[in-house]
Structure 1
């Protein structure tokens, strides 16, 4: 064997060590990945070894080595420190997130203990339902963010489940996803919701975050890494994401500085071009939602859920004092009026729950 052939052989052995088929099989539980990936890497390495450019060879080897280090760090974290893993309930579908199928996750939080189980389509189901059972059609489809999703309560405590007790003849599906905005929900409906042929689509709107940053989600590299890497999620949630909540709770749409309130706080009277663009986008998204629902013969109904500050004078005062906002600078009825005006213009039914929440004996 010549010296050149020996170098090539050593390089291929190093590449196989960096991308060990046994480790790949252990992690992915797939023989295809375990053999195809190393063969691909070795083939590329063999081809590059014949190129004269030393710079290209160095770059290629370094990239393979760095990728291997990151991969093995991921393997070690998921196998040795599995108890620290941040559960990933969602998968990216282009411009929106949705539940992963076949989830069976137990949440043990200091504030709640729940079981989160989904079927083969990613829809949440109760403990007795088979995960292989597919939902073909529904009468009523509830779409919204975390208020609709209700991950902090058991399936039978979801408001959509409670409604089913009064309407047992209806097939009701809950498609709530934490953090979803209006365009995320619209893109979900175009992609998945339509297939259920719902007769009525209930779209939940919250004063908390549905009146700001209204635009389509454009997936980034970070989104894909967050979905794939448990180690990255751990660092993102526990180290990189060091934002402190001044009041120990989320207070959107209220913000500590005036500029953010002018641009994003729907309750803040002073406005800006940015906020006015969001108001137009709000109407446009609801209008497009209505067209999509009616295109399959369905009916769109809006549900407005108020913020805590709209319900509790004590929590409102707490926020205003902390962020140095005067009562004269805000109008808590602005989102309600905007919702009603859009509903009237589009001839869409609206359930504004603000009064009912205020009158409820249970906060």
Structure 2
């Protein structure tokens, strides 16, 4: 009877190993393919780290196959699984600084230069005893489960960051699925920590499948956001000026931008100075009584002549205010957002360096 049970366990472990290695390798290749076509151009390596974390599970599955005929208490078997688990957690943590949306309490920590030490030092302290266990063949209790503690450490950050990423992209259901997946992983790690008799292979198969699917959902949400946040060309963008009184009687000034893919219009609330500056551009563009070119005051100009724009920084601050409203502060970049928006909204004179006007057709401007 014991021999039959061992044979069944061996077959289950062999099947699980083949499943894990094949599925995770396919997921690794698919994530890398998405990165190759999109992330490489963006110079965003976060998805590469996530793909490598999945590849660790692929290698773990190969060792499941190799040791399927051995005792599950084999120290080499347990040791290699712990090593791949540690690398999986490490690669996930190294991916987090590349995420566009990070929760405010953790943002400065994850983006800081000390992050690699925060994740690297516990990794080394966990990896060293694991290797020593394999070499010496001696069991040291808590040391055998250092990968589990490192996984807890990873889950705290990963769950929080995934929630924020989906929530900021208005994908609330995926945020709640992240919570559910995190809870399943926590339960699996607790059972492993307590060394219970429950079938951990089943839990492992469930949470690895769920997490891989979340990684793909994250990649697709990133693609969706890139598609929706493409700055349209001047002829495809329309500009509408509006003013209204809020409930407290305070005047609110904002513009509507139509022409962005994925939505009918985008509302941008501006301060009085920014609103009036953009309105001045629009009035000069629309009116036949004015020259549609505005002149920027030269640097260190000391005469009494008045200029429509005091300096180039006024234009920069206006563009930054619009981008902050469209994408959120620190979520836009100069190359992918600022320069395209500047080229869409404004046109510099080829003959006079300090002349500037709205690039939008006058029929696309509504005062």
The structure with more helix, counted as a fraction of residues: 2
Q: TM-score, normalised by structure 1?
A: 0.24
Q: TM-score, normalised by structure 2?
A: 0.24
